[in-house]
Amino acid sequence: MGAAQGMVSWSYHVGGAIQLAKNIGREKLLSTKYGQGMFSALRLQMIINCMSNAKDQKKGVNWRMHGTREDTPAIDCQQLMTQIASTRKVAERLMASSANDVELENMIKRCQADNADLEQWAENPPVSWKYTALAWKTEAKDGDTAHSEVYQDRIDVYHQNCSIGAVWNMMRAGRIGLALLMIRCAARVSTVNDYCSTPTYALASQICIGTITEIIAGIPFGLGWFAQRRHLLPQKEQFGSGEARPQKAIEVLPLIRILAILNVLDFVTHSQRWWARGRARHIANELGIKHAETMSQSDEERLSMVILRD
């Protein structure tokens, strides 16, 4: 099965899980900590599916966990991501038409405005939603990143748990999606001879490269790296450590999707891509979620291919 087929199959799995959540019932589902975790994970997957497939969020579904103070930043981010899914839908329709330069430039401005909203969300999160770089890794002597638990750079820890890291990664996926839309629009503007020399491309590439670094820095935490290294955690502050070995698919769903995204980005370096694929194989082999490796294969369209198609 190719990566594209894997994405479609995964969407069906998410759709089935959402229907299961509906069958259980909202009140019953939110009455337990595990149910709340399931609710949050499915909400993330639904939003990412909408953004990936350029579809609006299904109406009539209440994804708010009332009375949960810690959920407020997640709701705010969800609303921004729903806005971005709408932008992606309009952009795809524009790219499929004979849009003029004014329409394309207005879409670039819309993407930039959405990106600014996400940046503002990330600037001042509550203390419980912050993350910190607590370790650094130098480059492996043998250069074998595919089998390394961490990539050579900083390693982040989140102040609470993996679900907060998942929301941050949802936001980062949104920023990457907007950056790619900016580049596609810039490449279509008739007055541009080389879109790679435009200010739009410079901004979009900066967004992607910085966001990729942030994503990679948080993946070890999501896979339990700090659980075996608690001595690295400051004693005076409250930090999560991740689970030593996540036992349920729901705990790694967001990581699987974000690793698949890393695989198809032109801005990911060769060593970063190999490392991301290695983490996907780890999830497939050690946690038994075979879709992780399937979704991180190399036959998915990359930005350069999409621009040629446009």
Measure the CA–CA gap between 179 and 177, rounded to whole angstroms: 5
Closest CA to 53 of 250, 204, 290, 257: 257
Kindly report, residue by residue over 174-231, the tens digit of the pLDDT. 999 999 999 999 999 977 788 999 999 999 999 999 999 999 999 998 888 877 777 7
- The most distant pair of C-alpha atoms in the chain lies apart, rounded to whole Å, by 59
Q: What is the pLDDT of residue 92?
A: 92
Kindly report, residue by residue over 89-99, the tens digit of the pLDDT. 999 999 999 98
Q: What is the pLDDT of residue 57?
A: 62
Exposed/middle/buried for residue 117 (C-beta within 10 Å: 0-12, 13-18, 19+): middle
Residue extents of the structural domains in the chain: 73-297
Q: What is the pLDDT of residue 254?
A: 80
Measure the CA–CA gap between 98 and 53, rounded to whole angstroms: 21
